[in-house]
Each structure stands twice: as structure tokens, then as C-alpha cells.
Amino acid sequence: MTQHNIILGITGPSASGKSLLANTIVNGLGSDQVVVISEDSYYKDNSHMSFEDRENINYDHPDAFDHALLAEHLKRLKRGEYVEVPIYSHSKHVRLPETRSVGGHSIIVVEGILLFSEEKLRSMMDIRIFMSAPLDVCLMRRLTRDVVERHRSVESVLHQYETTVRPMYLQFIEPSSRYADLIVPRGGENHIAIDTIQAKIRELLSNASA
């Protein structure tokens, strides 16, 4: 039987609401149909480096990601196969030994900051969404997230934002918005955009199975 599925890419600045939008789509269409894959899971494994050296890596540059592995996994998911998605530790900056088995879903939502910077990735996506949010709002969200969830210090978060997050946004992320089919402000709180996205997904699935 031919596999019919949709790949939806969500990108935008760090802490712009990508995960919230992805999870809202899951809640609207059901977890039996939708799976969310984070680009963060595909950070390169630098466990061979010291923790101090890993802390100095620019994690907001395309070279920090194993996009080749992500592209291969998306190809396999598109064929209806299962893949083992890496699990990444943000506090230790390494991949964990465990993986997450993913497959058999009609809708594959991929979210991350640099998805549209790679032609091989964005060309695989049926719908491309760019999250738009003021950088000061993103910084406040990022501070809260990284200090509480990733056990980072306020100083380290601010230093990373100043040295890599904002410069890489201006160099790579913001310019990639031109590849988006839809630019969405306010993330998962933008119910009109969510309704439009879900309607488009249903239309694509209906056309694929016809």
C-alpha cells in the first residue's frame, strides 16, 4: 500500500513559539495522526569533546546540526518506514544513548531554527511555516526556558544570546523566512493561523488518498 503523509516544517527564532504551535496542531488533529520531531534532536554528537569545549560551540549555526541524518530520516518516514530519532541533552550538550522510535504517522511536523536554511530539507516539506516574534519577547521566553528547564545560568543565556543567537538569527534564520508558505505571529496563540494550517493539512491528506 502506498504511504500518504505530509511533512510540515516550522521554523523561526529561538523561543518564538514553534513547539507551542506544533503541539497545538497535535492536539487538534490527534497524536495517532501527528508526530513532532525537533531539529534539536539532530545536534551533532560531540561527546568526544570536553564539556568546556562543547559549551563554546555555536549551536545557532547550520554546521552544528546533522542535517544529513535528519534528511535521511524524513525520506524514510515519507516511505512509511520507522526511524530512531536521537535524544539530545541540552544541559550536557551530547546525544544520549537512548533513541525514540518514530513512524507510521500521516503528518510529520518538524520544528527547529534552521530548517529552511538547508535546501535539501525545505524541498522535502509540503508546508513551510515561519514563526514571527519580536526578539525581545523571544529573549524573555528563552531566559525562562533555559534557566528553568535546561538548568542554565542567567549570565550564560545572555552571553550566548549576544554572541551567537541574535547574530545567527540575522545571518541565517530571518533570511530563510522568504521560503515560507505562511508567516505566523503569536505562535500557538494564533488560532486563525492554526485553523488555516489544519484545514490545509486535511486538504493535502484528502488529495493524497484520493
CB 45 within 8 A of CB 95: yes
Q: What is the pLDDT of residue 1?
A: 36
- What is the mean pLDDT of the segment spanning 118-146? 90
- What is the mean pLDDT of the segment spanning 95-124? 95
More confident residue, 150 or 86: 86
Rounded to 5°, the CA angle 92-98-100 comes to 115
Residue 100: pLDDT band with limits 50, 70, 90? very high
pLDDT in tens, 173-185: 999 999 999 999 8
Strands (E), the chain: 6-11, 34-38, 83-89, 94-102, 107-111, 127-132, 182-185
What number of other Cβ atoms are within 10 A of residue 154's Cβ?
10
Q: What is the pLDDT of residue 26?
A: 86
Reading the block at residue 13, the C-alpha cell is: 527564532
CB 74 within 8 A of CB 121: yes
